[in-house]
Each structure stands twice: as C-alpha cells, then as structure tokens.
Amino acid sequence: MNPILVFLLIFVGIPLIELYFLIQVGSEIGAFPTVFLTVFTALLGGWMVRAQGFSTIMRVRETMDRGEVPALEMMEGSVLLICGVMLLLPGFITDAVGFIFLVPPLRRWLLKAGLKGAGIMQPAAPRQPTKTQQHQRVIEGEFHREDDK
C-alpha cells in the first residue's frame, strides 16, 4: 500500500470521521453535553493511562530484578503511550479504541496475538541435549572416607 495514501487516511480520514460523529452526537444531545463528554473522556483517559503507566513501570522493575528482559512490558508501555494520545484527541471513535486498549488483559492478549501473527513471538524449540550431556551419568549419594579414622 502506498505510504502517502496511509498518511492521508490517518491524518485526514480519521479526523473527518470523528468530526462527523461529533456533529451527529451534538445534534442529538446538544453542543455543551458533547463538549463536556469529550473533555471528560480526555481527563478520565489521562488519569487511567497515568495509573496504568505507573503499574507498567513497576512490572518492568520487577522483571529486571529477576534478571529477565521486560520486552512485553515495554511494548505495553508503548501501547499506553498511543492510548494516551488517542484519548486526548477529541472524538468518540479514538476514545473507544483508547479505552479498549486500557483493559490490561485485553491489551496483553492483543499484543501477543499481534506478535504471533507477525511471526515475531514463536514458541521456543525444545533443547536437544549435547553429546556430553547424553553420555554423562550422575549418581547422587553420600560418602565418607575410610582413611580418616
């Protein structure tokens, strides 16, 4: 797909659709309730993104303390950043998508599904024992020296 067409769709198409829905909702419930609802969802979304961002930072720290790479947590942080931007933009469709990605189990499931679909995250292949591990035999037990007496 042509990158110019994608940018045109993102930067022109989405705001036009949002504007259409804002006008439709405004004609049904009025202008002031529509503006209030838009500001309210931005404030609520910003507060929720902030709280979940701190939670994600704590999980990153715990993962790093265990000596593991916090790859999934870092990707969740990136998704939270995108959610914050979507919730700050005025409109009901971007707010709905932003709030969907604020549900932690759903966000993790969508991230994992996307990574598996892209072929990035694959199940680990079972490890084959090396030749030295195949021929090595370990017998556990206790012993004591006879010559120490």
Q: Is residue 66 part of a domain?
A: yes
Q: Is residue 132 part of a domain?
A: no
Tally of structural domains, the chain? 1
Q: Is residue 135 part of a domain?
A: no
Q: Which two tokens stand for residue 23?
A: 């006008």
Q: Is residue 53 part of a domain?
A: yes
Taking only the tens place, the pLDDT of each residue in 64-108 is 999 888 888 999 999 999 999 999 888 899 999 999 999 999 998
Distance between CA 85 and CA 104 in Å, rounded? 17
> Which pLDDT value is given to residue 129?
63
Range of 58's domain?
Answer: 18-122
Q: Is residue 141 part of a domain?
A: no
Is-contact 41 95, C-beta < 8 A?
yes
Q: Quick one: pLDDT band at residue 41, thresholds 50, 70, 90?
A: very high
Q: Is residue 8 part of a domain?
A: no
Q: Tell the residue number behind the tokens 């439709």, with chain if given.
A: 24
Q: Which two tokens stand for residue 6?
A: 């994608």
pLDDT at 133 over 80: no
